Structure 1
Amino acid sequence: MLLLGLLLLALLAGARLLWGQWTRRGLHLPPLAPGFLHLLHPNLPSHLLSLARELGPIYRLRYGLQDVVVLNSQQSIEEAMLRKWVDFAGRPQLLSSKMVCQHCPDLSLGDYSLLWKAHKKLSRSALLLGTRHSMEPLVQQLAQEFCERLGARAGAPVDIHKEFSLLTCGIICYLTFGSKEDTLVQNIHSCVQDLMNAWEHWSIQILEIVPFLRFFPNPGVRRLKQVVEARDHIVQQQLRQHKESLVAGQWRDMLDYMLQGLGQSRKDWGSGQLREGHVHMAMVDLFIGGTETTATTLSWAVAFLLHHPEMQRRLQEELDLELGPGCSASQLPYKDRMRLPLLNATIAEVLRLRPVVPLALPHRTTRPS
């Protein structure tokens, strides 16, 4: 019976593939790279760049039963992401994405729609307006405590990426939930790590290439579901506590601001109705999208500076000139950051050499372009 089922699924997959080739026979499509396991390559950015040298700046990859178009030049990316951004604003609804977005589509993985725009508007307002008075002093305070902790461990080995990751998670935790309690930060940090490891595991990624494997027992899927449940438990607990202590017209953090924003009319927020699940997934997005990306960038900055001590010296001279020699705490507000041109250039160079998300998230066209 199992063999018969596998044979049937293989025949269906072959028929779908042939039908797709038949329907596209008259189209002028970009060249197709041979093979179908490209996205499992261990160094995917370099692999895609090597394909661009062979096939040109725009080409296709086979990804399971569908084709993926790769844009690998500044000109093509600017045309798609800037001049025709609405045409490319959609998101493919991948199976793995649905597994981690059980409540509502989130901002990073949700498909483009008027409701998505309302979700984005509320989240952006909460980030820019609801916390603008507390963000910078908080970052300064936590960064100062972080430096003091590392200074107390001078001479001892340090996992700098983990330290940066905990620092970033603590900042996001305070901005979203109004708490920097060590236990909560540690729990959220562990959950983020577990979720990323489970999500990126080959047993989950292979489902995008061979979808029918989802009908077979998969320990990776079971593990991912367990981590998602643990994540949702933490967020739901914070949602419940904030709703119980919410004061109309006041907000202590982003969660307060967004919960009150749900009461806005459809006229204010666009078509559709924002629900508590949208707030839930906005919190998840901030932790998943903000913790490891920031920690990785800071870790690369440290690594580059360790190999370029002359840049460390020049940066220290610039800081001493603006803040005073031996100053232990930052006295330069973010709005005056251009007074430190070398530091700004160093950050830009780190991001150029090691982009936060080198391949960006996948896009789906909303109409023929």
Structure 2
Amino acid sequence: MVFLGLLLLLLTLLAGARLLWGQWKLRSLRLPPLVPGFLHLLRPNLPIYLLGLTQRLGPIYRLRLGLQDVVVLNSKGAIEEALVRKWVDFAGRPQTPSYKLVSGHCQDISLGDYSLFWKAHKKLTRSALLLGVRSSMEPWVEQLTQEFCERMRARAGAPVTIQKEFSVLTCSIICYLTFGDKVEGNTLVHALHDCVQDLMQTWEHWSIQMLDVVPFLRFLPSPGLWRLKQAIENRDHLVEKQLRRHKESMVAGQWRDMTDYMLQGVGRHRAEEGPGRLLEGHVHMSVVDLFIGGTETTANTLSWAVVYLLHHPEIQWRLQEELDRELGPGASGSRVPYKDRARLPLLNATIAEVLRLRPVVPLALPHQATRTSSIFGYDIPKGTVVIPNLQGAHLDETVWEQPHEFRPDRFLAPGANPSALAFGCGARVCLGEPLARLELFVVLVQLLQAFTLLPPPEGALPSLQPHPHSGINLKVRPFQVRLQPRGAKAQGPGERRDQ
């Protein structure tokens, strides 16, 4: 016990000395203003708290997360200067202990640091997503969404915990695009869904977050770290099994899914020399990225859309009116191809407004300066961690009128920019954005064609406030919704408010 106490004291003294030495080296630079305190990470609704600090510090400032200084960007102008105009300077990714574990020691696109490996890896995965499955992507999303609606129709009128249903749906879409035509039925889908849930919950636990901001804690016993390693081992076992199946049955020059496409792409790279050569481990981590980045993010956005439509039944009524006008009333078999989505301007505006208020990953993932640079005239030394507060930028009162209000019509005005920053920007923009936007469009079209969204019988509306400690994603508080088949004798979405 005495030895453990002395070790902890020594590590604390070394960390303090390192912090003081770092501050001394930066004494001649013009740095962003520093927020006092060390425990900012524990604040509830962190993106909103960070936005509030801009009132006295401006849109860019520094704060300490544990022993680490980070720079926070809270405006669209500051974020775009760093990530678009100076993207090379800020394309890095900090390599925290949990990032190294989850990313397969830097073979991951989302968490891997910027390098020639990373560029080649990103190019291969993007090609697989946009070229390898381009022809099958929309039909798969439509078919799986139709099956989802049929399952919901069997539970018509009963309260449904729709977040979980959306989560299984989005996992199914990723599974079939990645691993093929309903391989192993629903067994694989549910195994992967449970695996992703377990990994994300373990990764976001406070003990792992503290490990990242105070790295020397990894030398101490940590049940949370053990559980994270177990979740990663389970994840890798499931993915490796599918990679083996693909390698055994793959036909050269043909691909059935994204995994075939990427494995053959790696095969072509094997003959090449140089630092950009890819390995099968990169395919493994591309698959992991697709499941972690493409399941809960899209499911959360769909859940937020339902929450806002329950609070704004007049918008739901207008959306259904728009669908009926384009497709005919009750035309459950009709569709609007995604390339023709401009035919549904209010739906597109509603999706944009949900993404503005509740962006996919509100604080993005942290960037790191690859070399000394500047943002808004402030010096940013090499190695500085930069956090883009996307949600804060979306709530900037100098840009958005009544920014906290749900007003889809703001995106119907001429010159409105529906893309905003919901999926990030620059070199690190989310690779899954095209798929996510397709899913949001198709699922909401079919859902609103088939059902009217109503609160539970007791009339309790879900909270518009996110879970106070959401982690990476901005989580909806648990809620239920009734899915009333359209055409059935029931209250319309606009009738309840007048009672």
Which letter does structure 1 place at the counterpart of 2:167? Answer: S
Q: Which has the higher helix share?
A: 1
Distance 1:286 1:145 in 2: 22
Deviating more after overlay: 263-272 vs 349-358: 263-272
Q: Hey, what does 2:162 align to over in structure 1?
A: 160
Distance 1:140 1:46 in 2: 36
Which letter does structure 1 place at the counterpart of 2:16? Answer: G
1:310 to 310, 314, 317: 314
Matches within 5 A, 1:283-322: 283-322=287-326
Deviating more after overlay: 316-325 vs 168-177: 316-325
Distance 1:297 1:113 in 2: 31
Distance 1:182 1:259 in 2: 24
Matches within 5 A, 1:45-84: 45-84=47-86
TM-score by structure 2 length? 0.72
- 8 A Cα contact 1:315 1:342, kept in partner: yes
Q: Give how far 1:24 is off.
A: 1.1
Inter-CA distance 348–75: structure 2 relative to 1 (3 Å threshold): same
Aligned length: 369
Q: Give how far 1:268 is off.
A: 7.9
- Partner SS, residue 252 of structure 2: coil
- 8 A Cα contact 1:315 1:343, kept in partner: yes
Inter-CA distance 145–270: structure 2 relative to 1 (3 Å threshold): farther
Structure 1 stretches of 5 or more lacking a match? none
Structure 2 stretches of 5 or more lacking a match? 374-499
- 8 A Cα contact 1:115 1:270, kept in partner: no
Q: Hey, what does 1:213 align to over in structure 2?
A: 217
- 8 A Cα contact 1:300 1:350, kept in partner: yes
Distance 1:119 1:112 in 2: 11
Q: Hey, what does 2:7 align to over in structure 1?
A: 5
Percent same amino acid at aligned positions? 75
- Partner SS, residue 133 of structure 1: helix
Q: Give how far 1:363 is off.
A: 0.4
Distance 2:251 2:136 in 1: 18
| 2:208 is aligned with 1:186 | no
| 2:238 is aligned with 1:234 | yes
| 2:119 is aligned with 1:139 | no
Q: Hey, what does 1:177 align to over in structure 2?
A: 179
- 8 A Cα contact 2:100 2:106, kept in partner: no
Distance 2:278 2:370 in 1: 22
Q: Hey, what does 1:20 align to over in structure 2?
A: 22
- 8 A Cα contact 2:269 2:278, kept in partner: no
1:250 to 237, 248, 254: 254
- 8 A Cα contact 1:104 1:278, kept in partner: no
- 8 A Cα contact 1:173 1:185, kept in partner: yes
Distance 1:319 1:311 in 2: 12
Q: Hey, what does 2:394 align to over in structure 1?
A: none
Which letter does structure 2 place at the counterpart of 1:49? Answer: L
Matches within 5 A, 1:87-126: 87-102=89-104, 104-126=106-128
Which letter does structure 2 place at the counterpart of 1:127? Answer: L
RMSD: 1.5
Which letter does structure 2 place at the counterpart of 1:367? Answer: R
Deviating more after overlay: 226-235 vs 264-273: 264-273
Q: Give how far 1:78 is off.
A: 1.2
Inter-CA distance 363–270: structure 2 relative to 1 (3 Å threshold): farther
Q: Hey, what does 1:363 align to over in structure 2?
A: 367
Distance 2:359 2:194 in 1: 24
CA shift digits 1:117-167 (9 cap, x unpaired)? 100000000001110111111111111111111111012221100000000
Q: Give how far 1:323 is off.
A: 1.2
Distance 1:55 1:354 in 2: 24
Distance 1:210 1:198 in 2: 18
Which letter does structure 2 place at the counterpart of 1:366? Answer: T
2:342 to 328, 338, 343: 338
Q: Hey, what does 1:328 align to over in structure 2?
A: 332
- 8 A Cα contact 1:104 1:277, kept in partner: no
- 8 A Cα contact 1:103 1:277, kept in partner: no
Q: Give how far 1:65 is off.
A: 2.4
TM-score by structure 1 length? 0.97
Distance 1:357 1:326 in 2: 35
- Partner SS, residue 329 of structure 1: coil
2:206 to 202, 206, 220: 202
Which letter does structure 2 place at the counterpart of 1:69? Answer: V
Which letter does structure 1 place at the counterpart of 2:115? Answer: S
- Partner SS, residue 62 of structure 2: strand
Distance 2:16 2:358 in 1: 40
- Partner SS, residue 97 of structure 1: helix
